[in-house]
Structure 1
Amino acid sequence: MPEFDFTRLRRAPDVEAPNLQAWDATDELLVREALATGIRGDEIAVIGDAYGAITLALTDAGMPGIRVHQDLVTGRRALARNAAALGLTDGTDAARRAAAEHADGGADGPWVPTFEQHELDERLLTGIRLVLLQLPKALAELEEIADAIARWAQPDVVLIAGGRVKHMSLGQNDVLGRYFAEVQPQRAERKSRLLVARGLRRPDGPPPFPVSTAHPGLTLCAYGGAFAGDRIDIGTRVLLEVLPDIRSAEVAIDLGCGTGALAATYAMQHPASRVIATDRSAAAVRSARATMAANGLENVTVTLDDAGSELPVGTADLVLLNPPFHLGSAVDEAAGHRLIQAAARLTRPGGEVWTVFNSHLDHRRILQREVGPTEQVERTPKFIVTKSTKR
């Protein structure tokens, strides 16, 4: 059997750039180890497969039935696109249509259901004997994943987790050690390392997430994979301080809402407004929904989406934006630029986009170009808040 060609994979619809690729050496090591176990595809779960490299390499090797969980909707869409391009689709009608579009035979081209998308829940892990994991950056996210495996996977499950050596820490071993009797680091290869965990320990208490913290006027809830957890990150805090100066809008969007601090606070200040909170992270969306429930807010809708792509043009009178400047472990302004472009698309003429960003970033120029006239309304040693009016 020929080796899987990882170079055919793409990151789209996520940002693509010469210094970014859709797989790494860790993916290749995880695939190699999974093939060596002899475990069937329908007994394997893959977690954190950024753009589908692990899932599709195993599927291409003749292992159907793999269950996969990706936190980011951009990763889910990239997996679907890559699968369709390779003729390795999941069992959904949408995937069948996408595969037909890429097939040489047109609408009657080849289609085989091969893998299943799941959330981080019991359906992902029941009956699973092997879990392949790209280690997350946050220990809280790793704990939530390990707890889920320990609750629902088979008693003899083996976890093979991997990451780039420069991003790994002994804290990851400690977290896994609470849920497995044995955690064995493997020898590093190509600047990646695998951890093999065995001897599952079933939890005897409730799940550790979501967590919640009462802040002044706001209860914030968070699942393990949500950025900043149940804290208010400093950029959001700066924008919250000027929130009372923002006008009441018929429809407001918190674009990249995270745990929902901005959306919840604005909704409490403007109960007549319809607020939409959207994020590409499933953990963030679950967290934001829990935040809205904890604060008794019924005028907020929380959606899982990539940069508001499923919302119509000109949906909102107001967009609140705290864009990221990282793509995974890479520092890249392109992620923020995508959200600024989305804010421009979503804002009605005359509407406003309020943005907070690190002062060293070039976002004001991008806002001026994409949205319209942009003025600085607040500045701290690290952050700038701007107001842009849609032309």
Structure 2
Amino acid sequence: MAAASRLETAHGSWQLHRYPQRAGEQLQAWCGADLLLMDAALERGAAPSLVVNDEHGALCVALQPQQLWTDSALAALATAANLQANSCLPVAVIWSTQAPSCAEGPVVLRVPKQSAYFEHQLATLHAVMPVGAELICAGMDKHLSPATAATIARYFGHVERHRGARKARVFTAIREAGSTIDPPLNPSYYCPPLDCELTGSPNVFSASSLDIGSRFLIENLPALNPAHRVADLACGNGVLGLCAKQLGLASEVHFFDESAMAVASARANWQALYPGETAHFLHGDGLLNSETKFDLILCNPPFHLGHSVDDFVGRRLLMQCREKLSENGILVLVANRHLPYARLLNAHFRNTAILAENRKFRIWQAESVA
């Protein structure tokens, strides 16, 4: 049964969809934490100056804040679509790589998945919120760390932990006078294939160690033929594209990710390794806004939608690859063995084959149908 798409509350009724919409969607565009945040913010009678980490736009539609602070291009697209569908005014988007501005009024924050990113956001908010402004945080119980209140307290002092409801919980704190606290240092790690240190940002996948799927793909890159235009899709800190460049596989490298911090990290690592050389970086919905056709696409796709295990993101990226490969272009994909990519690849590409496999991963190679 498809999930409900109309949210009915005491404060209003809205039609809400996840982005991108899909037939028979099983997941709602809101959760219990969103509902608690709506209640808490609307009870205060003032529109929030800022909403942080709205996943699908439910908070922005209900609360009409001045700004949305987010890392996710997909979240921004979902929010814009739901605002328009409900005849709401647009909300300004501030990307995670910048600091938002905060006027009087509460700041409403969905607790993010990555604890380091949460700390980064709390430190930044403490620096930009005016004294006396209230921070309202919430998350689903099953996703909250036992240290959530202590983490907020590290940056804001006294924290009020409210009674749980809807399988979620709210925490509130007031911005008190006092000096700002520096956020944790950005993660980094030594990358043996590149023989260098790679930096990341707090919300970048595997920012503090080389992901084992990417490592397996990198080990097998020498089996590939050189290509002119190469895309690192869902690039994270850019390690696949950087290795392709180092091995002489790529004349021109393009990096794509829906995370603003990922794209910024890939850019920083490229500039550190190849100063003065040009690469291309695009923050958005995969390859959709690229006009380039690629001779080789490298991809280690996500198989989560937020906290939910769902290979829809990966399958969608594969369909984008089908449209953006050049004639005789090659897609190389690393994925967990249990993910059912074989049928999709055989249906939409030519000469699908397993390039390599181990106990955990398969590396698929497929050719363009053009």
Does the pair score TM above 0.5?
Answer: yes
The 1:330/1:271 distance shift into structure 2, 3 A limit, reads closer
1:46 matched residue in structure 2: 51
> 1:55–1:66: 8 Å Cα contact kept in structure 2?
no
1:229-249 Cα offsets, whole Å, 9 max, x none, are 232111111111111222211
Quick one: distance in 1 between partners of 2:358 and 2:84?
Answer: 47
- Equivalent residue for 1:29, pick from 25, 29, 36: 36
Which structure features the higher share of helix residues? Answer: 1
What amino acid does structure 1 have at the position aligned with 2:169? R
CA distance in 1, matches of 2:289, 2:358: 34
Contact 2:155–2:181, Cα closer than 8 Å, also in 1 = no
Shift of 1:175: 2.1
Q: Report the secondary structure of 1:219's partner residue.
A: strand
SS at match of 2:190: strand
How far does residue 56 in structure 1 lie from its aligned partner after superposition?
1.1
Q: Decide which moves more: 226-235 or 192-201.
A: 192-201
Deviations 1:350-383 (A, max 9, x none): 1111110000111122112122211112111110
- Secondary structure at 1:309 match in 2: coil
Identify which of 175, 192, 207 aligns with 2:168: 192
Q: 1:240 aligned to 2:218?
A: yes
Alignment of 1:173 onto 2:159: no
Counterpart Cα distance in 1 of 2:247 and 2:274? 13
Distance between the aligned counterparts of 2:78 and 2:355, measured in 1? 38
| 2:232 aligned residue (251, 254, 270) | 254
CA distance in 2, matches of 1:67, 1:79: 11
3-state SS, counterpart of residue 77 of structure 1: helix
Matched, 1:322 2:300: yes
2:281 maps to 302
1:3 partnered with 2:19: no
**Contact 1:129/1:156 (8 A) holds in 2:** no
Number of matched pairs: 357
Q: What do the CA deviations read for 1:222-268 (whole angstroms, capped 9, x no partner)?
A: 11111112321111111111112222111000111111111111122
Change (3 A) 1:321 1:147: same
The question of 1:231 aligning with 2:239 is answered no
- Supply the distance in 1 between the matched residues of 2:260 and 2:362 (Cα, whole angstroms): 28
C-alpha distance in 2 between matches for 1:317 and 1:163: 43
Task: Answer whether contact 1:263 1:300 (CA < 8 A) is retained.
Answer: no
Trace 1:368-383 onto structure 2 (pairs within 5 A): 368-383=346-361
The answer to whether the 8 A contact 1:273-1:299 is kept is no
Name structure 2 gaps, 5 residues minimum: 1-8
Does 1:57 find its partner at 2:62?
A: yes
Q: Distance in 1 between matches of 2:214 and 2:104?
A: 39
Is the 2:96–2:260 Cα contact (8 Å) retained in structure 1? no
Residue of 349, 363, 366 corresponding to 1:385: 363
The Cα of 1:204 is off from its aligned counterpart by 4.8
RMSD after superposition = 2.1
Structure 1-normalised TM-score? 0.86
CA–CA distance in structure 2, aligned partners of residues 85 and 70 of structure 1? 20
| Residues 157-187 of structure 1 deviation map (CA, whole Å, 9 limit, x = unaligned) | 2211111111111232232221011122211
Question: Residue 60 of structure 2 contacts residue 83 of structure 2 at CA under 8 Å; is this kept in 1?
Answer: no
